[in-house]
Structures are given as structure tokens and as C-alpha cells.
């Protein structure tokens, strides 16, 4: 980029040298033509890089928007679950007991839909090379449910030690996806362990 910038700054001097009043010197003309060719090539490279940067910015914007949407969904689910658990703790009447039960049922249904959507996303963008097409979605969904269940159970049973060991059965690209979007995080001292992000705090 610095070379291109310098060449662009030299453009007025190059054009001045190329004025017709200068004597025709074949060596000088050849050098100037080569410089002009280099300048044109660098301008093409700059245009390509700028186009690629623009595409990457658009991709990043879409990924950030998707992340924010998923984060809002998880926040909403956590709030609903927290409200439901609070109301279930001290039910004084049948109505007070049934209402949290219905909310929990809706929460489970919505959670399944969310997991199904995540499974479809993974199936489309991160297909497992060892899975057959006919069973790919089912296997991905089972993997998602398994990992989330393990992380949630660990967080609920031992909140003071919520980390689990990443086994070979966990598909690495999916683990990286969980870490990248802040759903899970690695242990600060042991990269082979991770835990569910504490959204409820």
C-alpha cells in the first residue's frame, strides 16, 4: 500500500516528465512506461483489496447481527426461566402453580425450536465430513442437545465449578462456534475445559 501511495504522489511528476516537449529518449520512455504499468497494476490490486474489504465488512456485520439476535434470545430465555423458577418455588394456589408450568412448557418448546434452528445453521454452514446427508441433521441436533445439556447440568449442579472437559466426541468446529459467539468460554488455565457463559448473572 505504501508503494502505491508513493506512486500516486509521484503521478504529477511522472506526467510532467511524459510531456511531449522532452526529447525522445528510448530508455527514459521505457522506464516511464514500466512505472506507469506498475502504477496501473497497483491500482488494480488496490481496487481488488478494497472490494474484498467491503465484502468482509458486510459478512462481519451479518455475523454480528446474528450474534446479537441469538444473545437477545438467550437473555429472554434466561429471564423467562428465572421468572418461572421463582414462581414455582412458592405456589400458593393451583392457578399460581399452573401458570409457571405453562411458561416452562412454552420455554421448552421454544428451546427446541431454537436448537433446531441452530442445528439447521450448523448443518448448512459447518457440515460434518464424516456424516451421511440423510442422518446429518439428526446427528447435529443430538450433538447440540448433548453439549448444551452437559453444560447446563454442570452449571446447575456445581455452579462453583462449572467447567467440563472437552472430549473427542465434541465436534471441534461446533465448540469453536460456541466459544466465538460467547455462548461458552474456556478455562483461563486449561484450554481443554470450558463452561457455559453465565448469562443469568
Q: What is the pLDDT of residue 87?
A: 64
Residues 35, 128: Cα–Cα separation, whole Å: 50
Q: How far is CA 119 from the centre of its chain?
A: 15
Q: Is the dihedral of CA 34, 37, 43, 49 positive or negative?
A: negative
The greatest distance separating any two alpha carbons of the chain, rounded to the nearest whole angstrom, comes to 104
pTM > 0.85: yes or no: no
Q: What is the pLDDT of residue 189?
A: 92
Q: What is the pLDDT of residue 155?
A: 81
Residues 87, 16: Cα–Cα separation, whole Å: 82
Q: Residue 196: enclosing H or E segment and its boundaries? A: strand 193-196
The pLDDT profile of the chain, 201 residues, written as one tens digit per residue, is 554 555 566 666 555 555 545 445 677 888 888 888 888 888 888 888 888 888 888 888 888 888 888 888 888 888 888 887 776 555 555 666 778 788 888 878 877 787 777 777 767 766 655 544 445 555 656 676 777 788 888 888 888 888 998 887 777 877 887 888 888 889 999 989 999 887 655
Q: How far is CA 86 from the centre of its chain?
A: 33
Residues 83, 196: Cα–Cα separation, whole Å: 20
Nearest residue to 4 (alpha-carbon basis) of 38, 27, 53: 38
Instruction: Please tell me the total number of residues recorded for the chain in this structure.
Output: 201
Residue 103 near residue 80 (C-beta atoms within 8 A): yes
Q: What is the pLDDT of residue 193?
A: 92
Helix%, strand%, coil% for the chain, nearest 5: 75, 5, 25
Q: What is the pLDDT of residue 22?
A: 45
Amino acid at each position: 500500500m505504501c508503494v502505491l501511495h508513493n506512486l500516486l504522489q509521484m503521478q504529477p511528476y511522472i506526467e510532467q516528465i511524459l510531456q511531449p516537449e522532452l526529447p525522445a529518449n528510448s530508455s527514459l520512455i521505457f522506464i516511464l512506461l514500466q512505472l506507469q504499468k506498475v502504477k496501473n497494476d497497483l491500482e488494480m490490486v488496490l481496487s481488488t483489496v478494497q472490494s474484498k474489504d467491503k465484502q468482509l465488512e458486510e459478512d462481519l456485520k451479518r455475523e454480528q447481527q446474528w450474534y446479537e439476535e441469538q444473545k437477545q434470545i438467550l437473555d429472554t430465555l434466561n429471564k423467562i426461566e428465572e421468572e418461572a423458577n421463582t414462581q414455582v418455588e412458592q405456589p400458593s394456589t393451583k392457578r399460581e402453580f399452573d401458570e409457571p408450568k405453562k411458561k416452562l412448557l412454552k420455554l421448552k418448546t421454544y428451546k427446541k425450536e431454537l436448537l433446531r434452528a441452530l442445528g439447521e445453521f450448523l448443518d448448512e454452514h459447518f457440515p460434518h465430513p464424516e456424516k451421511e446427508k440423510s442422518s446429518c441433521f439428526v446427528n447435529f441436533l443430538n450433538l447440540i442437545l448433548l453439549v448444551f445439556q452437559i453444560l447446563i447440568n454442570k452449571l446447575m449442579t456445581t455452579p462453583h465449578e462449572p467447567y467440563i472437559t472437552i472430549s473427542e466426541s465434541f465436534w471441534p468446529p461446533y465448540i469453536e462456534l460456541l466459544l466465538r459467539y460467547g455462548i461458552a468460554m474456556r478455562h483461563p488455565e486449561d484450554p481443554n475445559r470450558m463452561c457455559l457463559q453465565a448469562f443469568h448473572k
